[in-house]
Amino acid sequence: MKYKHSNNIEKILTENFQRFHKPSFIEDDPISIPHRFSKKEDIEIAAFIAAIIAWGQRKTIIRNANKIVEIMDNAPFDFIVNHQESDRKKALGFVHRTFNADDLIFFFDSLQYIYKSKGGLEKAFGLNNNLDTKERLASFKDLFFEREHLKRTEKHIANPLKGSAAKRINMFLRWMVRPAEGGVDFGIWKSISTKDLMIPLDIHTSTVSRKLGLLERKQNDWKAVEELTANLRLYDAKDPVKYDYALFGMGAYEAL
């Protein structure tokens, strides 16, 4: 059944977007990590790392993301571009759930490759602007793993072509692309439009979306991401992912 616009749902989404889309959201969220910085490259590197390990308890995510920033001498861009192989030894012993020191050391290596050879993270995501978002994310994963790596590390970057909801990468893109006027997202990437962003689907957003009738699909996969994002476009075609704040906030902070 095709979803139809509902004035009642629009009211709920708008009220809760306004409720949660404010600077007070930052403190307890992984987006607090890139908010430590002001330089574009520092922001995007810190954001990328924080988003990649963003599963589990948010306090643990923030604590371990800060540990990685400390390993990078609290200067992410300078460290990534200039570090030597010996500097990566500082990562030994790091672990966040299944993301361990081997994974982190490879991420340092690949990010250095991307900034020195591919023009940085923004260009790496937008090398082919003719791709749709699903293909763009898959293309980025291929690029990220061009360097020699352990097979196990590939699981830390999702591939929606294989059905993954790609929550963490979609969240990272929301941070980089959505405008900064609300004081939460950064709006520092201009090569991707807000209308092309996809919802970062997690247990909170999916549960609330199903209760509101915005999502019928049972699995939290890429097809669910496409369905929910398409329905949110009925409420804001230019910036559907802004409602991530409403859906996540309702799910994380209270029962609907």
Q: Give the start-to-end residue ranges of the domains of the chain.
A: 7-253
Residue keyed to tokens 């993270």 = 121
| pLDDT for res 4 | 87
pLDDT in tens, 219-231: 999 999 999 999 9
Residue keyed to tokens 């939290």 = 220
DSSP for residue 30 = G
b/e string for 124-155 if b means 16 or more Cβ within 10 A?
bbbeeeeeebbebbbbbbebbeeeebeeebee
pLDDT in tens, 123-164: 999 866 778 899 999 999 999 999 999 999 999 999 999 999
Tell me the C-alpha distance between 123 and 228, whole Å.
Answer: 27
Tell me the C-alpha distance between 256 and 65, whole Å.
Answer: 30
| pLDDT for res 256 | 47
pLDDT in tens, 243-255: 999 999 999 887 4
| pLDDT for res 2 | 83
pTM: 0.95
| pLDDT for res 126 | 82
pLDDT in tens, 76-87: 999 999 999 999
Identity (one letter) of the amino acid at 152? Answer: R
Express the helix, strand and coil content of the chain in percent, nearest 5 each.
Answer: 60, 0, 40
pLDDT in tens, 173-205: 999 999 999 999 999 999 999 999 999 999 999
| H or E element that contains 96 | strand 95-96
